């Protein structure tokens, strides 16, 4: 039996073509509380979603053709219990609106940097 202090390990799927988001999440990757799987394409992400169960799915909003949003919609269908997060390089009101209307979290990368620095 696990003790109350023990916490479940979070499984995170990160879809990031450039690797920039992973730079921000490197501390999570090295944590014993998180398991981060990083893929560079939506095709690889769909394959992972069919094989593994994730608690959090983070997609880069700069994937061409709004594929980040499309991927999160697919992820939401396949794994409705997962938290879906769209990340963009800066503040993008249109992407934020679409993400929130679809039920996803939205986070500009600049915000992530500021949060980690302070």
pTM for the whole structure: 0.79
For the sheet containing 34-39, what is the strand order?
A: 34-39, 10-15, 56-60, 83-88, 105-108
Structure confidence by residue, pLDDT tens digits, 57-91: 999 887 765 678 888 999 999 999 999 998 887 77
Token reading at 13: 């799927």
Using the Cα atoms of residue 18, residue 63, residue 90 and residue 112 in order, give the sign of their dihedral: negative
Q: Which CATH superfamily is domain 10-117 in?
A: Response regulator (3.40.50.2300)
Whether residue 55 has pLDDT greater than 90: yes
Q: Where are the domains of the chain?
A: 10-117
pLDDT at residue 95, rounded to an integer: 82
Residue from 6, 79, 88 nearest 49 by CA: 79
């Amino acid at each position: 039996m696990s003790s109350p202090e023990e916490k479940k390990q979070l499984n995170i799927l990160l879809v990031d073509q450039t690797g920039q988001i992973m730079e921000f999440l490197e501390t999570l990757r090295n944590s014993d509380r998180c398991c981060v799987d990083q893929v560079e394409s939506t095709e690889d992400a769909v394959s992972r979603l069919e094989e593994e169960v994730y608690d959090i799915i983070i997609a880069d909003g700069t994937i061409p053709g709004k594929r980040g949003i499309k991927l999160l919609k697919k992820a939401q269908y396949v794994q409705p219990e997962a938290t879906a997060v769209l990340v963009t390089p800066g503040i993008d009101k249109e992407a934020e609106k679409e993400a929130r209307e679809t039920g996803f979290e939205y986070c500009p990368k600049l915000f992530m940097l500021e949060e980690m620095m302070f």
